[in-house]
């Protein structure tokens, strides 16, 4: 395998057109054909390298379509990827998503090597709170359990009693069996969860830099101008959620599309989601209010190629942090996925 370090950047070969005919059809529904031709050599090289290394490539639903459709073995929301990492047989996982997702994979599968193709793929929610902040909150609210969103660092998870994602936040909060819960760090998700439960929530002022940008006026415009149904992620501000026909996590949104099969829909969430879902729902017109997550965009085909070629960047979590964070993650996994958010 040492020869892999000298692999040159991949180049176009005519046979790729035939070899990837089906994928080309899929990608051409969301990008111009010239872009597809630029991606195919990288896709082919990544698939070959992944096979040689015995790697499983996991991609979040916010990854660019050439990654989501082109190279991922497993796709999903943050809960789905955490579950897949815990269950997967391969010794090597390449996590195409943001850093907290790769950390969760490593915590749940400590014996595996987990690579993240860019160390700069962070998250505004994860960087909004530290482990010291959680300890200070506990001092202020003695005996109140802490539920942290998956969008947090391993150190914050280690200070938490349980983790949740937007797919199971209400269930995890209610599973704490406490009239009051500290819910961190997304203020908007927290306010949405608080509207669905009798449990009193202590909130933090974290926000997703992508979802906080949507406005109620934009949502009304999508409905009035395009007669679109509105589906919003609970990280959006409350007045945006109030305009939505459906509020749900990444996976709940696609389940809603499956059920409702709307003629026209605006997904008020990260932009790549619409591209990745569009191929599954060809009869639905997607109105794209386009906010891209800059952190998700740091993962590119060349960076995945380099990650596999050079075995970079392996995610490490100190053993005691990992142990405590794993306990909180396992508590979430035992609740599982029961969408009500």
Query: What span, in angstroms and rounded, lies between the C-alpha atoms of 304 and 299?
Result: 7
Question: Which does residue 250 bind out of ligand 13P, ligand SF4, none, counting CB within 5 to 8 angstroms by kind?
Answer: ligand 13P
Q: How far is the CB of 235 from ligand SF4 (least distance, A)?
A: 6
Question: Which does residue 295 bind out of ligand 13P, ligand SF4, none, counting CB within 5 to 8 angstroms by kind?
Answer: ligand SF4
Name which of 151 and 251 has its Cβ closer to ligand SF4: 151
Q: How far is the CB of 208 from ligand 13P (least distance, A)?
A: 5
Question: Which does residue 303 bind out of ligand SF4, ligand 13P, none, counting CB within 5 to 8 angstroms by kind?
Answer: none
The torsion angle over the Cα atoms of residues 179, 168, 341 and 204, rounded to 10 degrees, is 60
Report if residue 166 touches ligand 13P, rule: CB under 6 A. Answer: yes
Tally of CB atoms within 10 A around 111: 6
Q: How far is the CB of 233 from ligand 13P (least distance, A)?
A: 6
Report if residue 159 touches ligand 13P, rule: CB under 6 A. Answer: no
3-state secondary structure the chain: CHHHHHCCCCCCCCHHHHHCHHHHHHHCCCCCHHHHHHHHHHHHHHHHHHHHHCEEEEEECCCCHHHHCCCCCEEECHHHHHHHHHHCCCCEEEEECCHHHHHHHHHHCCCCEEECCCCCCCCCCHHHCCHHHHHHHHHHCCCCCEEEECCCCHHHHHCCCEEECCCCHHHHHHHCCCCEEEEECEHHHHHHHHCCCCCEEEECCECCCCHHHCCHHHHHHHHHHHCCEEEECCCCCHHHHHHCCEECCHHHHHHHHHHHCCCEEEEECEHHHHHHHHCCCCCCEEECCCECCCCHHHCCHHHHHHHHHHCCCECCCCHHHHHHHHHHHHHHHHHCCCCCC
Name which of 165 and 284 has its Cβ closer to ligand 13P: 165
Judged by the rule CB under 6 A, the positions of this chain that interact with ligand SF4 are: 98, 123-125, 151, 208-210, 270, 293, 295-296
Q: How far is the CB of 269 from ligand 13P (least distance, A)?
A: 7
Interface mask toward ligand 13P for 114-153; x: CB under 6 A = -------------------------------------x--
Name which of 115 and 341 has its Cβ closer to ligand 13P: 341
> Which residue in the set 78, 83, 124, 254 belongs to the binding site for ligand 13P (CB under 6 A)?
78
Question: Which does residue 77 bind out of ligand SF4, ligand 13P, none, counting CB within 5 to 8 angstroms by kind?
Answer: ligand 13P
Site for ligand 13P, residues 317 to 336, rule: CB under 6 A: none
Site for ligand 13P, residues 245 to 284, rule: CB under 6 A: 249-250
Name which of 63 and 250 has its Cβ closer to ligand 13P: 250
Site for ligand 13P, residues 30 to 59, rule: CB under 6 A: none
Site for ligand 13P, residues 221 to 240, rule: CB under 6 A: 235
**What does the binding site for ligand 13P look like in residue numbers (CB under 6 A)?**
77-78, 151, 165-166, 208, 235, 249-250
């Amino acid at each position: 395998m040492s020869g892999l370090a000298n692999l040159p950047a991949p180049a176009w070969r005519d046979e790729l057109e035939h070899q990837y005919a089906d994928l080309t059809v899929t990608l051409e529904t969301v990008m111009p054909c010239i872009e597809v031709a630029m991606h195919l050599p990288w896709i082919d090289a990544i698939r070959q390298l992944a096979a040689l290394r015995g790697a499983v490539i996991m991609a979040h639903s916010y990854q660019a379509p050439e990654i989501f459709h082109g190279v991922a073995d497993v796709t999903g929301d943050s809960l789905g990827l955490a579950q897949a990492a815990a269950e997967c047989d391969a010794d090597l996982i390449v996590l195409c998503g943001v850093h907290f997702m790769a950390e969760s994979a490593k915590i749940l599968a400590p014996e595996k090597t987990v690579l993240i193709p860019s160390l700069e793929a962070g998250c505004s929610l994860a960087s909004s709170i530290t482990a010291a902040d959680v300890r200070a909150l506990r001092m202020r609210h003695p005996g109140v359990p802490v539920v942290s969103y998956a969008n947090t660092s391993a150190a914050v998870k280690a200070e938490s009693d349980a983790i949740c994602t937007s797919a199971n936040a209400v269930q995890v909060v209610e599973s704490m069996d406490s009239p009051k819960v500290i819910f961190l760090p997304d203020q908007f998700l927290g306010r949405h969860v608080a509207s669905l439960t009798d449990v009193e929530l202590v909130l933090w002022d974290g926000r997703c830099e992508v979802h906080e940008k949507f406005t109620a006026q934009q949502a009304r415009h999508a409905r009035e101008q395009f007669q679109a149904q509105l589906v919003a992620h609970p990280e959006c501000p409350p007045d945006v959620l109030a305009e939505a026909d459906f509020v749900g996590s990444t996976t709940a949104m696609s389940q809603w599309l499956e059920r409702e099969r709307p003629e026209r829909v605006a997904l008020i969430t990260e932009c790549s989601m619409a591209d990745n879902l569009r191929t599954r729902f060809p009869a639905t017109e997607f109105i794209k209010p386009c906010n891209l997550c800059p952190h998700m965009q740091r993962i590119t085909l060349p960076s995945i190629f380099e990650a596999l070629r050079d075995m970079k960047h392996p995610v490490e979590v100190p053993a005691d942090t990992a142990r405590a964070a794993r306990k909180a993650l396992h508590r979430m996994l035992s609740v599982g996925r029961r969408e009500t958010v």
